[in-house]
């Protein structure tokens, strides 16, 4: 009975958490703030604690997850509609480098030391603070950096080169299977695809690990 209880809690909890994650959107992962971090931990703990509590059944788990989910969902609505609530619950970005100078007061306010700042800057391809004109500490703990003009990468406009429209590559074969929707999106049929992969040394689709189409370029094919 104990193992049956664990299995049932895990299965039901899995579906409850999956549904709640879909309802709450992607910000729980992609733009996690301190409040989001705490809410995600609590949501997981509600199910985790029920694993070893024989008196906690499926209705209790459902009720706890539903109530917590409603509270978080309500919080998300408040932060979308009211700016003051957004600032209170999610915080606000902080300028930690301004006009090439470190704003030490903002570092202390956000409990960020210089080593951590250097680490965050390196993740933005800024390996020296002298290269940085502005750096903003975002609410999710990442840094957005703007390099000084001397160190910034030149753009197409700077070089006065002709502008070329960018086209997304399309995956046609993945792990030996054709992605038919993608094939139709480029107006190819199976015969056309087979001919193209044969020109690249593959006998059939099953021999292809990965095939990618890009406008104006030859089909990229990698076999097993």
Residues 6+ apart with CB under 8 A from 177: 205
pLDDT of residue 188: 93
pLDDT of residue 211: 93
pLDDT of residue 28: 46
Q: Please report, in tens digits, the pLDDT of each residue of the chain (224 residues total).
A: 567 766 776 777 677 767 766 665 554 445 556 666 676 677 677 666 666 666 666 677 777 777 777 777 787 777 777 767 666 666 788 999 999 999 999 998 888 888 899 999 999 999 998 999 999 998 778 899 999 988 888 888 888 888 878 788 999 999 999 999 999 999 999 999 999 999 998 989 999 999 999 988 899 999 88
Is 106 buried (19+), middle (13-18) or exposed (0-12) by CB count in 10 A? Answer: middle
Please check whether residue 139 is in contact with residue 91, taking contact to mean a CB–CB distance below 8 angstroms: yes
pLDDT of residue 7: 75
Domains, the chain, in order of start with CATH, read: 2-88 (no CATH), 94-151 (3.30.240.20), 170-223 (3.30.240.20)
pLDDT of residue 50: 64
138, 146, 142: which is closest to 99 by C-alpha?
146
Considering the entire predicted model, what is its pTM?
Answer: 0.57
């Amino acid at each position: 009975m104990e193992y049956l209880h664990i299995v049932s809690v895990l299965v039901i909890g899995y579906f409850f958490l999956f549904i709640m994650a879909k309802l709450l959107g992607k910000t729980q992962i992609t733009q996690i703030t301190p409040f989001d971090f705490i809410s995600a931990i609590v949501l997981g703990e509600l199910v985790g604690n029920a694993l070893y509590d024989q008196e906690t059944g499926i209705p209790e788990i459902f009720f706890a997850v539903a109530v917590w989910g409603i509270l978080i969902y309500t919080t998300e609505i408040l932060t979308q509609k009211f700016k003051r609530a957004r600032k209170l619950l999610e915080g606000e970005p902080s300028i930690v480098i301004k006009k090439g100078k470190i704003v030490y007061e903002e570092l202390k306010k956000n409990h960020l030391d210089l080593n951590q700042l250097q680490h965050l800057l390196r993740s933005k391809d800024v390996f020296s603070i002298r290269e940085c004109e502005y750096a903003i500490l975002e609410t999710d703990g990442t840094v957005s950096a703007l390099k000084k003009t001397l160190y910034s990468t030149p753009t197409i406009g700077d070089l006065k080169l002709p502008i070329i429209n960018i086209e997304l590559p399309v995956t046609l074969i993945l792990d030996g299977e054709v992605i038919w929707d993608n094939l139709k999106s480029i107006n190819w049929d199976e015969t056309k695809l087979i001919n193209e992969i044969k020109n690249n040394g593959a006998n059939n689709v099953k021999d292809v690990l990965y095939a990618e189409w890009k406008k104006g370029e030859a089909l990229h094919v990698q076999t097993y």
